Structure 1
């Protein structure tokens, strides 16, 4: 296949980003090297006597705040701890359980075809005028389907735009902007929330061991973000990108526009829904309603199993929030199973078990990464370097007396720039959270707020960095319609989306913080540091 324009890879700012990013090791080894760095730094810090006064804990003998001193990871205690507690360090890493449980269900929904069919049904009959916003909305909701949104919806959007007489590359751009630029926007929490809040909890526990993550802690924020990003993607697509691309005059069959048409055509994605698929969607809808009804019954029905009526008013719904990980597992599992029964690709319980097993096989890389990240986070905590950095960082922030909206905006910008070099959302948050989360909690900014700011910065620049894992795939999708479309064309096309989404996200987080709107149920913008 012709790859026109790819010579621009080695030129300009984005060429420098790609060359620099390609020099970074795999995230697994990146965290291995960070562990070595933390070990060396802990030795130096111990020798130099780095210390800080704990913001909460009191020495029972003196009645004064406890002093935290840096501890060498080469000490006999920490060496013993590393090897003796290695299984515990790995298996007790919060994101591990959260993500694996949700993915057991989501894997069935993906492999049964539910996610792909639901996205096709959502966009294929859209009116021409509403085509862009419908594609963008389904793309953002498609984040619940993880990789399926990239491989199903984005090429399908190009076909649908072409069939409607519009430029197909504009459809690809709108879908890519929704799936990746609107990565954190959604109407419901999902796999990403489980992953990020698992890391947030691990980071918060280094200073506040009793803090509990709430997977719905950003629910209100991501819900509103969806409807903030939607008109942005609509405007940029229809008013900026499509006029620049011009009128498309080629075939509506993408394989007819490339020099090498030996690769499979994507137009099968646009076929009408078959009766089995429609039946599967109906079954999946009934299963979804059933799970929702079950959770409402357990929450408000006899016995209120998911409400702790003995707790304080603020803590009564804690069991409900903690149950959402299991709730999403059951929702995806039963909806995917029901869809599979409807279309006939789940004929027995063995088919279901195989789909669940295959989904765990896909998590193999995550398990390897989680092993290394878990030890980085744990050893960072054992050294006390994270706590000392957070305490002194909080003191500096307090002395600057910076307005909270400005402070959170700086966090967003920092993350957006870092995202150009480290594409993995989990790896990046695992690197930043141990310092950002406790540091901001110490000055009264809730962990949910910090996580929300991270999500805004992490989303916007996904679509302009060649280091994003799906960036080459999107380029291939575009080249099916224009064989001379290169990586420079793709980056230039997506840059307006990145700038507009970043600006909208910054405005949203700053206004949200300024008006102190809860980010989710029982998730205020500001909260006093939790007591031990």
Structure 2
């Protein structure tokens, strides 16, 4: 870490963050650290296995969507079966790791846009036409909105956030942090109803049927609250970035840079060509998604959002979009003279991904080991049982539930997996206390979002570490956690306060009377 980069804060909290960063970065490199984490999981899993740690809970089978009594026991990685699992699944753990394909496919397109000069020219155009005061808010807001495109925000918007800040002469890690905070810390907030709303609503419906067989949770049931949350998280994220993160990072002293000069005639011509490519891409995409029986809609339901080829292929679509605008820019600016130039752009980008691939190999083993051993499920069930036994009521109960969810989220990243376990416990319990399933789901989503950005178990955490190392080779897990912790704490406190205000004022949290098809059509018109 460049000593000039980190300005020691006089506040106790600043010193605490400095300590986290120093201690975290004195640990081995991220790849080695994930190896050590994996070894630790092996030992802990074997101890729990020998002790016969088992939990039984009434949960939702995600394959059948039925409420079942599920018994889960700790599985050891140090038994004969466990060791066979390690050897037999090493390759599959790596190749099936969700972020791997997402990152590599998206980077093929982003690489074309970057190497042809499109991204640089576009950002320089932005620098000269966008009020500097609004940039932080725009980056955080776009991060939140990117959730509608599933995981694409992690691999597209987060690195672009760093480049945007760098183009404005600001610290790129602050831009990366602001985008990451929006994409992941504000995961549930959005102006639109998306796949997460539909997925969680289905699980909530099954849990509610334990007490009321006819109860249905609408995917739009948290919509109003999430619209307001989008602006609240945007404001909080921008304030943390400008008042806490940037002063702590100080002036950027690294070697990465981006030109901020005026565009020349070739670059202006390239941007005009890229606009043609963008419009052409949208026209083609429109034919694939707008008609009632469009190819990329769900063949059975006609939905554009739920279980549709469009949403399932969003990363490939984004790759094609960046490739299109990049190629057209290259033709207009004369940086692309043939198909070989395009392939060379992709190859050059893939050539920079070596260290990322090494990191992902070991990170994927660690995350899969944690899942295989059932330690995350056991922790979730034990936590739910403990909160149920406390017998809190009212606001203390809701706060405790949000905090518990946030804590479990550090060890079990999947929103649906956690909710499949927790919903059958807490939805009936809260229903008997007078809280609707929609409200319980809402409280869960706050805790589920706010600690994503500080959990090494979150699928894309290793990806973000790799992005950060582009601007500071010595940055590691300690740097990222210490940078993101202020966001996590602020989002958790601020979002929970917003929820309490909503409770006290008895405001509507969603539009139960609004059909989901109307919401989807609104999303289509905006997209």
Regarding TM over 0.5, the answer is yes
Equivalent residue for 2:133? 132
Do the aligned residues in 1 keep the contact of 2:55 with 2:71 (CA within 8 Å)?
yes
C-alpha displacement of 1:121? 0.9
SS state at 2:411 partner: helix
Q: Which segment is superposed worse, 91-100 or 177-186? A: 177-186
The number of equivalent residue pairs is 421
Matches within 5 A, 1:450-465: 456-457=450-451
Equivalent residue for 2:399? 406
Equivalent residue for 1:294? 284
Does 2:317 align with 1:327? yes
Equivalent residue for 1:123? 127
Equivalent residue for 1:432? 411
Q: Which segment is superposed worse, 30-39 or 82-91? A: 82-91
Q: Distance in 2 between matches of 1:363 and 1:448?
A: 38
**Deviation digits for residues 477-523 of structure 1, max 9, x if unmatched?**
xxxxxxxxxxxxxx99x9999987776566567789985459xx99x
Q: Distance in 2 between matches of 1:57 and 1:500?
A: 34
SS state at 2:168 partner: helix
Does 2:84 align with 1:80? yes
RMSD of aligned residue pairs (Cα, Å): 5.3
SS state at 1:85 partner: helix
Does 2:355 align with 1:359? no
Equivalent residue for 2:525? none
C-alpha displacement of 1:353? 1.0
Does 2:155 align with 1:154? no
Equivalent residue for 1:181? 178
**Deviation digits for residues 249-287 of structure 1, max 9, x if unmatched?**
xxxxxxxx99x9xx9997x83321112222222222222
Q: Which segment is superposed worse, 393-402 or 45-54? A: 393-402
C-alpha displacement of 1:388? 2.3
SS state at 1:183 partner: helix
Does 2:278 align with 1:278? no
SS state at 2:271 partner: helix
Do the aligned residues in 2 keep the contact of 1:102 with 1:326 (CA within 8 Å)?
yes
**Deviation digits for residues 96-147 of structure 1, max 9, x if unmatched?**
1222211111121222222222122112144xxx431146526865984544
**Deviation digits for residues 354-411 of structure 1, max 9, x if unmatched?**
1112222222222222222222222223222222222222333444567686357537
**Deviation digits for residues 44-80 of structure 1, max 9, x if unmatched?**
222211112252469xxxx983532222222222322
Q: Distance in 2 between matches of 1:221 and 1:113?
A: 40
SS state at 2:330 partner: helix
Do the aligned residues in 1 keep the contact of 2:269 with 2:333 (CA within 8 Å)?
yes
Q: Distance in 1 between matches of 2:334 and 2:502?
A: 47
The alpha-carbon distance between structure 1 residues 326 and 516, as it changes in their structure 2 partners (threshold 3 A), is: farther
Q: Distance in 2 between matches of 1:85 and 1:497?
A: 36
> Normalising to structure 2: TM-score of the pair?
0.62
Matches within 5 A, 1:37-48: 37-48=40-51
Task: Identify which of 367, 370, 374 aligns with 1:377.
Answer: 367
Do the aligned residues in 2 keep the contact of 1:386 with 1:435 (CA within 8 Å)?
no
Q: Structure 2: any 5+ residue segments left out of the alignment?
A: 144-152, 200-205, 207-221, 428-439, 456-464, 473-481, 520-527
C-alpha displacement of 1:330? 0.9
Q: Distance in 2 between matches of 1:29 and 1:517?
A: 46
Q: Distance in 2 between matches of 1:497 and 1:272?
A: 35
The alpha-carbon distance between structure 1 residues 382 and 234, as it changes in their structure 2 partners (threshold 3 A), is: closer
SS state at 1:104 partner: helix
Do the aligned residues in 2 keep the contact of 1:394 with 1:443 (CA within 8 Å)?
yes
Do the aligned residues in 2 keep the contact of 1:136 with 1:230 (CA within 8 Å)?
yes
Q: Distance in 2 between matches of 1:185 and 1:356?
A: 28
Q: Structure 1: any 5+ residue segments left out of the alignment?
A: 159-171, 202-207, 209-217, 245-256, 416-428, 462-466, 475-490, 525-532
Do the aligned residues in 1 keep the contact of 2:277 with 2:324 (CA within 8 Å)?
yes
Does 2:347 align with 1:344? no
Equivalent residue for 1:164? none
Does 2:20 align with 1:17? yes
The alpha-carbon distance between structure 1 residues 353 and 116, as it changes in their structure 2 partners (threshold 3 A), is: same
Do the aligned residues in 2 keep the contact of 1:105 with 1:329 (CA within 8 Å)?
yes
Task: Identify which of 407, 414, 421 aligns with 1:442.
Answer: 421
**Deviation digits for residues 424-450 of structure 1, max 9, x if unmatched?**
xxxxx8x63358763344223999997
Do the aligned residues in 1 keep the contact of 2:223 with 2:509 (CA within 8 Å)?
no
Q: Distance in 1 between matches of 2:18 and 2:278?
A: 46
The alpha-carbon distance between structure 1 residues 286 and 228, as it changes in their structure 2 partners (threshold 3 A), is: farther
> Normalising to structure 1: TM-score of the pair?
0.62
Q: Distance in 1 between matches of 2:310 and 2:297?
A: 6
Does 2:112 align with 1:108? yes
Q: Distance in 2 between matches of 1:83 and 1:38?
A: 16
Matches within 5 A, 1:477-496: none
Matches within 5 A, 1:387-402: 387-399=377-389
C-alpha displacement of 1:303? 4.0
Do the aligned residues in 1 keep the contact of 2:141 with 2:230 (CA within 8 Å)?
yes
Does 2:58 align with 1:65? no
SS state at 1:68 partner: strand
